């Protein structure tokens, strides 16, 4: 079996870094948990010279109608959520990232875990940084966990953050 070496980038001081991160994906739902993920992602992006990709997923809004028509989507509500999401993403970028960090924002519509995985594949993401919301028991059984599904199906490593356990970011 032949070992292949992955590309190594030189860090300040001439030290070779065995980790190469070019794109870091941060799913944002505007909760404090996801904002905390961004707090972790920014130093990673700075240290590795990586681009941050922030993705906000709008879940399709479906309301039951009657038995003749089935479920009905409400496009105006989804459009409004997308527009508000764009404004809030722009605010987050302005407030939490510096000019030295390249940032792109995306808004997708669909099931959050699927869209996060799709973006990771389409953008050849090297790392996903995502928060857990700490659901347990019945709530976890009923709603499932977006983070858990992302961890199981992601095409790249996933750093999960559970708040407010042990922090390693220095403010």
The DSSP code sequence of 24-57 is EEEE--SSHHHHHHHHHHHHHHHHHTPEEEEEEE
The verdict on residue 81 lying in a domain is yes
Domain tally, the chain:
1
Residue 11: inside a domain: no
Domain range for 142:
20-162
Closest to 127 in 3D by CA, of 138, 112, 116, 136? 116
**124 lies in some domain:** yes
For residue 47, being part of any structural domain is answered with: yes
Cis previous bond, 164, omega within 30: yes
pLDDT tens track, the chain, 171 positions: 333 334 455 555 566 768 889 999 999 998 888 898 999 999 999 999 999 999 999 988 766 555 555 555 566 778 888 889 899 999 999 988 878 899 999 999 999 999 999 999 999 999 999 988 755 555 455 445 888 899 999 999 999 987 666 566 666
pTM of the model: 0.78
144 domain-assigned: yes
Question: Where residue 71 sits, what CATH number does that domain have?
Answer: 3.40.50.620
């Amino acid at each position: 079996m032949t070992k292949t070496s992955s590309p190594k980038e030189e860090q300040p001081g001439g030290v070779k870094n065995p980790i190469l991160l070019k794109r870091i994906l941060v799913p944002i739902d505007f909760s404090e948990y996801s904002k905390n993920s961004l707090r972790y992602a920014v130093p990673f992006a700075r240290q590795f010279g990586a681009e941050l990709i922030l993705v906000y997923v709008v879940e399709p809004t479906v309301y039951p109608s009657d038995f003749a028509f089935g479920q009905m989507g409400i496009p105006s509500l989804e459009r409004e959520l997308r527009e508000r999401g764009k404004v809030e993403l722009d605010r987050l970028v302005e407030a939490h990232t510096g000019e030295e960090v390249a940032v792109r924002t995306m808004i997708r519509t669909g099931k959050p875990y699927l869209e996060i995985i799709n973006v990771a594949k389409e953008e050849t993401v090297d790392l996903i940084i995502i928060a857990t919301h700490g659901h347990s028991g019945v709530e976890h059984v009923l709603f499932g966990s977006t983070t858990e599904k992302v961890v199981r199906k992601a095409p790249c490593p996933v750093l999960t953050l559970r708040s407010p356990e042990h922090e390693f970011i220095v403010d």
